[in-house]
Amino acid sequence: MVMVASILPTPILFPAIEAHADTENPASNSTAITAGGYPGGVSDGLISWIDVERSMNLAADGSKITSLTDLVDLDPNVEHDNVWSIVNPNTLVTGAINFNSGILIDGNKGYYVREPFHTTDVAREAFSIQGAAASGFPWHFGGQGSTDTYSTSVIRSSFGNAGNDELIRDNAGNPYQLGKADIFNVLRTENYFGMYLNHTKLIDKTTAGTANFNSASSATGYYFGAGHNRRFNGLISETILYNRELQDVERAKVYSYLGLKYGITLADNYVASDWNGVEGTVFWNSSNQADYKNRITGIGRDDLGAQNQKQSKSQGVGSNVAIALGDTIHSDNVDNENTMDNNSFFMFADKSANDTVSYVSAPIVKDGFRVKIMDRSYQVDKTNWNDQDITLQVDDAEGLKPSYIILSQDDSFDNNDTFYPVTDGKVTLNSSNFADGSYFTFAAAYPEPKDAHLLTSQVNDDGTLNLTFNRDVKSDDLKGFTVTIGGTVYDNLSQFIANGSTISIPLTEAQLESGEEITINYDGSGTLRDALTGLKVDEFDQAIHAVNTMPLAKKVKEALALSNGDYTTDSWNALQTKVQEAQTLLSNPLVTQTQVNDLLSVLDNAIDGLVKNQPKADSGSFIEGESTISIHFDKSIEVVSEVDLSSAFTVTIGGQTVEVVGAVIDGSDPTKLILTLPESVKLSSDEKVNVAYNGTSGYLKGEGAEGTLVHDFQFDLEDPFASALKITEPAGSTSDKKPAVSGAVHTDTDMLSAVLKDADGNVVDVAGSLIWNAGDPNWSYHLDEDLAPGTYTVEVTAVDGGRSVTKTKTFTIVKEALTQLSLTDSFGKNIALNQAFDPNQFNYAATVTNDVYNLRIYPTAPDSADKIEILHDGIWKEVESGNSSDDLALKVGSNTIVIRVTDTNGLQTEYTTVITRASSDNGNNGGGNNGGGNNGGGNTGGNGGSTPAPAPVPTPTPAPVKDNLETTRDGSHQPFATSKP
């Protein structure tokens, strides 16, 4: 933007601000502020400032605004020249926008008029606070157009134009969104015309022509609440007018003042009046709160900046939390009489992209109740804040009221965080409970079913099913409930009573006469909810048992139908004892539900506990490297008849079926069956081995005449000895010259040895000690000297009697390939990496602005003989250690650059840096952000179009990390360490 010198004296503010200007010199900028402050502390060039709450002159009824007094008195010697008048007074709307007053203008309520002033200005910049509107324009401060519009579909302005030259931004293609209230900013200079919404450019142009701030030819003057022939249709609270273009720092102050005061979320930092662009107060840092950037809300005081916002609620769509000093949220900011220190701020925002909130399940129990947490969390930012009581008020979410506010040092909320009760959505706490940078959210408790009982009537055989919860509940109907009695489902029940924590459902004799199990289900779709929070009860399934003998009688019949010949004597006799007890109980008319249930469970367990005579295969195993499988049964077995083994057994190794060529019962152990596989098959614990038996083949049965056929079985096998041998460390690449070497081993191991080999398979002679004793399940090896960089293989062999198993694992030791790595732009300005350079860290990132087109890399290797190459744009180029690379072109967006170092031994190390170049967002202004200002992409940076971006830089695909884990058997190795018990 072009800076335009003020042609007016520094303003006299009325009535809250007194200032003194040199009336002899119209260009004077001297100001003495005694009270009240200026918008964001920016006074130079301020020619009009209307704040309805401070400017209004009320009628005797206390509601009609008869006139507005401009807070800037351009000529104190002339009385009432700064008064905006109206024929039919408008009505004050208290708390119109974020607890600040305003007026509502529509077809029946008017706007305020004042004679044009200082129409010879060559530049003006206007700010206004208004709600969303369907038509009209909020103000008229000069210009000849008569179609100015501020609406959800189009925004257009002829501010300062001599003819019909205007800016138009419709809401098609590149839409904007109006909130409940917004900051509208229009800048008009001799060669620039731009419109902005909440510090985001809507549209601009640089060939606007000479500015003309006379009122429209048929207009009666300047307007607050209307454009020329364009009466506004909505709320308006404040307008600010300067007769010059503000500097970027000044504009940021004004935006911050309006943003905090009216609860409007901005994408940039919020700064106080003492901010000079380098130093001062930043009370919301957009970089620090990159994730928590939605619905920014806060309270704060800045005397020089005319800021004293004591309660606030974001005007963003979906905002749901208000904050206030003290223990009450008043209807209007001025009604809150609490105070805070000057230049102090308490802010928060959320990170949810959704405009609605709900409560979601969480593994949290508070005061014995399960709770759900709001799916929106908030982060706190305190600046120069002196702690005192504050109140938070959270809106209901779909009719739900929270039970607690949760305070946490991180945004993962759990039982370890701090909970405070919330009453009717409100909680008052001392702000010391909210640490700077901490987080908070809200939680609601909900009921869970405790138990259910069927109460039988003393008059008839009807009953009442009482379902009890751990909290009081409410329900409008029985939607979602299903009562099942045996196989009959009753899902159309309508009669019920909800009393405290109990839902009572009457059941008739006809419904209960079957005497079968009663189950009540709720699918969560009904109106069953917590009586206090309104949170719906989740789906549940709670079984209810009535006092009846039918289930027990049926179980006795089932037991009597069994045959003792199929079971062992002990298990059969145990069952007969329980059957006799049940028969006795069934004849007892005084039986209780507990007695029936207990004995039914006992009888059920006795039936389940019957042991059939058929043998059961309970385990299997193999020996690493051999071709036989052993299957172990719980009792002796025998072959019934020879069959095709493929119809009886299926063996798979690694998912592939393998033929069974032989099966024999161990001559010394009749409970063990040995399966033989082809000689070419060598079993390994590295592959899944599974055996399945088809009982219908009739191949095996229990020993003896009473033995029954073996039923189907299937299970996985393993070589316990081989499976237990593991090498867990080291893994992958490490710069540790003495890496930890460790693993696990079977406790039956007699001897353990370890060998270290280089990349060529040669044994490495290195000092160290193996730490292991016979019977230990774990082993480790301690290296006493450093290993040179390179690739190594650990080879460990475990011996048990006459067999041995060997396993290997490969790892790489890398050296510090670079001692230093730095980046600059083409002019030698340093480009900061995302972290300090560490030779053992191989991935970095950096971000540059759009005007950085190239960069240079300065790598330094520990050995000047090491070869350094840089991959950029698909080409490797060599760079001498300590020297600069060529200029490397950067495209907009992500650029991946790889630095590869090859030492004198041929070992290569790669460092990857991703450079992100920002986009210009300058439209057709050409100059990018190098112009005189940077509000929305630069206003005077030229009109020559954008500089073409460099060609895209391909990102090399890194080679996958090799995981070399092998197993050998009975190999011949030269050990570097051996341990014996």
**Which of 254, 227, 226 lies closest to 105 in space, CA to CA?**
226
Residue at 177 is within a domain = yes
Verify that 229 and 141 share a domain, yes or no.
yes
CB 518 within 8 A of CB 484: yes
Q: Give dist(CA 297, CA 857) in Å, integer.
A: 43
Verify that 102 and 232 share a domain, yes or no.
yes
541 pLDDT band, cuts 50/70/90, is low
Verify that 357 and 425 share a domain, yes or no.
yes
Q: Give dist(CA 609, CA 607) in Å, integer.
A: 5
Q: Give dist(CA 354, CA 924) in Å, integer.
A: 33
What CA–CA distances, in Å, run from 967 to 207, 723, 726, 743, 930?
A: 78, 11, 10, 14, 64
Q: Which of 919, 945, 965 represents a domain boundary (last residue)? A: 919
Verify that 602 and 667 share a domain, yes or no.
no
Q: Which of 890, 919, 948 represents a domain boundary (last residue)? A: 919
459 pLDDT band, cuts 50/70/90, is low
Q: Tell me, what's the pLDDT at 969?
A: 40
6 pLDDT band, cuts 50/70/90, is very low
CB 72 within 8 A of CB 18: no
Q: What is the average pLDDT value for the chain, to the nearest integer?
A: 85
Helix H or strand E encompassing 947: none
User: Picking from 25-34, 398-407, 641-650, which range would have the lowest pLDDT averaged per residue?
Assistant: 25-34
Q: Tell me, what's the pLDDT at 309?
A: 98
CATH number, residue 220: 2.60.120.200
Q: Give dist(CA 643, CA 655) in Å, integer.
A: 24
Give, rounded to a whole angstrom, the gap between the first and last alpha carbons of the chain.
85
User: Picking from 65-69, 379-383, 586-590, 695-699, which range would have the lowest pLDDT averaged per residue?
Assistant: 586-590
Q: Give dist(CA 637, CA 616) in Å, integer.
A: 9
Q: Tell me, what's the pLDDT at 188?
A: 95
Residue at 926 is within a domain = no
What CA–CA distances, in Å, run from 367 to 502, 507, 530?
A: 20, 35, 15
Q: Is 706 helix (H, G, I), strand (E, B) or coil?
A: coil
950 pLDDT band, cuts 50/70/90, is very low
Per-residue pLDDT reduced to its tens digit, 880-922? 998 999 999 999 999 999 999 998 878 788 899 999 999 987 5
Verify that 767 and 726 share a domain, yes or no.
yes
How large a percentage of the chain has pLDDT more than 90? 52
499 pLDDT band, cuts 50/70/90, is very high
317 pLDDT band, cuts 50/70/90, is very high
Helix H or strand E encompassing 751: strand 751-757
Verify that 649 and 726 share a domain, yes or no.
no
- How many alpha carbons lie under 13 Å from residue 535 in its C-beta half-sphere? 24
Q: Tell me, what's the pLDDT at 960?
A: 42
User: Cα 750 to chain center, whole Å?
Assistant: 53
User: Picking from 351-360, 430-439, 803-812, which range would have the lowest pLDDT averaged per residue?
Assistant: 803-812
961 pLDDT band, cuts 50/70/90, is very low
Verify that 705 and 741 share a domain, yes or no.
no
CB 554 within 8 A of CB 520: no
Q: Which of 653, 686, 718 represents a domain boundary (last residue)? A: 718
User: Cα 521 to chain center, whole Å?
Assistant: 34
Q: Give dist(CA 950, CA 927) in Å, integer.
A: 17
Any idea what the Cα angle at residue 391 is, between residues 387 and 394, rounded to 5°?
A: 140
- Token couple for 678: 């082809």
The total number of structural domains in the chain stands at 7
Q: Give dist(CA 616, CA 618) in Å, integer.
A: 6
- Token couple for 64: 């009609």
Verify that 825 and 857 share a domain, yes or no.
yes
Q: Tell me, what's the pLDDT at 67?
A: 96
166 pLDDT band, cuts 50/70/90, is confident
Across 572-597, average pLDDT: 80
Residue at 712 is within a domain = yes
Q: What is the dihedral of CA 352, 358, 360, 362, to 10 degrees?
A: 70
- Token couple for 226: 């209307």
Verify that 298 and 284 share a domain, yes or no.
yes
Residue in the block written with tokens 């009581």: 389
Kindly write down the DSSP assignment for every residue of 894-905, as one continuous string: EEEEEEEEE-TT
Residue at 29 is within a domain = no
Any idea what the Cα angle at residue 601 is, between residues 599 and 604, rounded to 5°?
A: 105
**Which of 936, 942, 938 lies closest to 195 in space, CA to CA?**
936
Per-residue pLDDT reduced to its tens digit, 176-185? 989 899 999 9
Which class for 182: exposed (0-12), middle (13-18), buried (19 or more C-beta within 10 A)?
buried
Q: Would you give the DSSP letter of residue 574?
A: H
CB 313 within 8 A of CB 97: no
- Token couple for 131: 């709600």
Q: Tell me, what's the pLDDT at 930?
A: 40
Residue at 144 is within a domain = yes
953 pLDDT band, cuts 50/70/90, is very low
- Token couple for 434: 């909210």
Per-residue pLDDT reduced to its tens digit, 200-209? 999 999 876 7
Verify that 132 and 197 share a domain, yes or no.
yes
- List of residues 6+ apart from 5 with CB closer than 8 A: 27, 244
Residue at 257 is within a domain = no
Which class for 453: exposed (0-12), middle (13-18), buried (19 or more C-beta within 10 A)?
middle
Verify that 780 and 866 share a domain, yes or no.
no
CB 621 within 8 A of CB 724: no
Residue at 976 is within a domain = no
CATH number, residue 461: 2.60.40
CATH number, residue 629: 2.60.40.1220
Asked whether residue 855 carries a pLDDT value surpassing 50, the answer given is yes
Asked whether residue 963 carries a pLDDT value surpassing 50, the answer given is no
Verify that 399 and 417 share a domain, yes or no.
yes
Helices H / strands E in the chain, number of each: 8, 74
Per-residue pLDDT reduced to its tens digit, 43-97? 999 999 999 999 999 999 999 999 999 999 999 999 989 999 998 899 999 999 9
Residue in the block written with tokens 């640089």: 206
Across 151-162, average pLDDT: 91
Give the domain extent around 731. 722-813
Asked whether residue 837 carries a pLDDT value surpassing 50, the answer given is yes
Residue at 933 is within a domain = no
22 pLDDT band, cuts 50/70/90, is very low
- Top mean pLDDT of 547-551, 711-715, 789-793, 887-891 is at 887-891
CATH number, residue 908: 2.60.40.10
